[in-house]
Every structure is written in C-alpha cells, then in structure tokens.
Amino acid sequence: MFDKINKTLDFNQNLLNLYAKRQEILSSNIANADTPNYKAMDINFKDEMDKITKKSNLDITLTKTSSHHLNPRKKNFFIFEVKPITSKEIQSNGNTVDMNRERIEFIKNTLKYEENLVFIKNEIKNIMNVLKG
Amino acid sequence: MSLLNILNIAGSAMSAQSEKINVIASNLANAESIVCKDGKFYPYIAKKVIFKLDPLKNSLIGGVKVFSIINDLNPMKLIYDPSNPLSNKNGYVLQTNVNPVSETINHISASRSYQANVEVLKTAKSMIMKTLSIGE
C-alpha cells in the first residue's frame, strides 16, 4: 500500500520539480529581456515527461557493506535539458526573448504548478480520510 | 531549489534595471552640463548601460548584471552661438549628445521591465507559499 502512495506522490513530486525548473527558466528569460546576445531558453516538456514516466535515467548505486543498509534512491530527475528556443525573431542586439510569449508561458506554468499542488493536496486528503476511517 | 533561484534572478534583474534608470536620470539631468577635464571644457557625454547574463552554477540561465557603463557614441551637436564663452573662433559651440526623446523611451522600457520582474517575484512568492501549505 505504501508503495502505491509513494508512486503517486513520487510522480507528482517529479512533475512539480519539472514545473519549478521551467518557471526558473522563464523567469530568467524575462529578466534577460534586455541583455545583448542572450538566447531565450526552454525545456522540451515532452522529452522530460518521457524521462519521468519511463524512469530510464542513469542509476547511481551505492556499495552496501551491511545487510541493514537501505536501498538508495536510484533516480535523479533534477537534471533537465535546457535548450535555446529557435525563433525567427531576433532583435538588433542578438536577443531572442519574445516578451509576450514568455509572460503567457509564465502564467500558464504557474497555473499548472498550482494545479499539481491541488492534486497532491487532494491525494493527501484522500489518504488521511482512509487512515482515519 | 528552483523556486528560490527565481527570487535571485528577478532581484538581480530589478537592480540592473534600476541602475539603468539611474544612468538615464543622470543623462537627462546633465543634458546642459559642462565637464572640465585637463583645463579644457567639454560638454557632458551621454552614458549607456550594457547588461550581461549572470549565469547560475553549471547552467545556461541566470540573472542579469551590469557589465559596463559606456559613453554613447552618437555625434555631438554643433550650435552657432558666438556670445557663448566656450564658442570656437567661428562662433560654434559643441553641445551634449544626450537625446531627451530616446532617454525617455529607454526610461519607459526599463521601468516596464522592472515591473515585469516585480510580477515574477510576486508569482514566485505565492507559489512558494502555496507549496508550503501542502499538508494542511
């Protein structure tokens, strides 16, 4: 049973991490809207989502010297691939930030993050209801 | 943690933009100023702020920092004013290259960027607060 709880919470946790990272990238784009030669960055949501669902990340193993040692966590989802956006529009100073796009994506990403938080909250509420009976 | 990094990124952008506004204010205020250098008098030269990416550790993204403040390369105006004590023998005076129109436009754009970063900061804060209330 706890495995199931872990699974749902784990997935949501990874997703929250992904949204938080994306939020960071978008805020960096907004902050650098006037910086010469700055290229707007983003992450490919589909690829990262595939990584999370397939769990095909590199395994990092620890040597166990005693049978009482716990199993280490095997996945590391904190590394996301950050890529520059290919956009047609380039300002005269070599900057590729499209402020309208960034602001809209920023708001969208915020809402998705908060939506995910609500999911987690409800999940916890359900578990608490079951536990209390 | 990514969300806390946002506060640093938006904060650095805000301080960079306010530095830019500072320089613009100085340009506008000194539009009529005369600079004395090595016993000679020159008109004030407009200054420009150059921004640079201030990357986070091992990453392509990050905040902003002021890379340098350079002199504006626009040519100075020559104005015919023989009564001016600084005029040359033909009666022309060099005048500053501060362009009030472009300075005002730059000021508006910088303050809009500042506001955008304030919004980012607000959003990040509310996200963090909501995350903290997850188990309630």
Segments making up each domain of chain A, as ranges: 1-54+89-132
Q: Provide the domain limits for residue B105.
A: 1-133
Nearest CA in chain B to A127: B135
**How is residue A63 annotated by DSSP?**
-
User: B100: Cβ–Cβ under 8 A, 6 or more apart, which residues?
Assistant: B28, B31
> Which among A32, A110, A120 has the least Cβ separation from residue B123?
A110
What pLDDT, on a 0 to 100 scale, did the predictor assign at position A56?
47
Lookup: tokens for B25: 């204010």
Q: Kindly state the helix (H) or strand (E) to which residue B52 belongs, with its residue range.
A: strand B47-55
Helical segments of chain B, H only: 2-29, 100-132
Q: Any idea which of A45-49, A124-128, B5-9 has the lowest mean pLDDT? A: A45-49
What's the average model confidence in pLDDT over B67-73?
A: 90
**Is the pLDDT score of A55 beyond 70?**
no
User: Is A32:A38 a contact under the CB 8 Å cutoff?
Assistant: yes
Q: Which residues contact B60 (CB under 8 A, 6 or more apart)?
A: A41, A82, A84
Q: In terms of pLDDT, which residue wins out, B119 or A9?
A: B119
Residue A9 tokens read as 């919470």
- For chain A, percent of residues with pLDDT exceeding 90: 27
- Smallest CA-to-CA distance from A97 within A45, A44, A46, A31 is with A31
- Residue A73 above 70 pLDDT? no
- Cβ separation B113–A24 shorter than 8 A: no
Task: Round to whole Å and give the CA distance between A31 and B117.
Answer: 6
Reported as a single tens digit per residue, the pLDDT across B13-53 is: 999 999 999 999 999 999 888 888 887 888 888 999 999 99
Residue whose C-alpha is closest to residue A35's, from B90, B32, B50, B106? B50
Q: Pull the structure tokens for residue B51.
A: 């921004």
**pLDDT tier at B76, thresholds 50, 70, 90:** confident
The rounded distance, in Å, linking the Cα atoms of B81 and B97 is 17
Please give the structure tokens belonging to residue A99: 């402020």
Closest to B92 in 3D by CA, of B47, B58, B43:
B43
Angstrom distance (rounded) from CA B65 to CA A32 = 9
Amino acid residing at B10? A
The per-residue pLDDT of chain B, averaged, comes to 89
Asked if B3 lies within 8 A of A110 by C-beta distance, the reply is no
Instruction: Enumerate the residues of chain B whose CB falls inside 8 A of the CB of residue A20.
Output: 1-3, 127
Confidence at B120, pLDDT banded by 50, 70, 90: very high
Nearest to A20 among B3, B20, B120 (CB): B3
The DSSP 8-state label assigned to residue B47 in this structure reads E
| Domain count across chain B | 1
Bridge partners of B69?
Answer: B49
CB contact under 8 A, B60 and A41: yes
- Find, among A48, A68, A67, the residue nearest to A57 by Cα: A48
For residue B113, the model assigns a pLDDT of 93
Query: B35 CB contacts (<8 Å, ≥6 apart)?
Result: B41, B42, B43, B44, B45
DSSP annotation of B57? T
CA distance B95 to B77: 5
Q: What chain A residue is nearest to B13 in terms of C-alpha separation?
A: A31
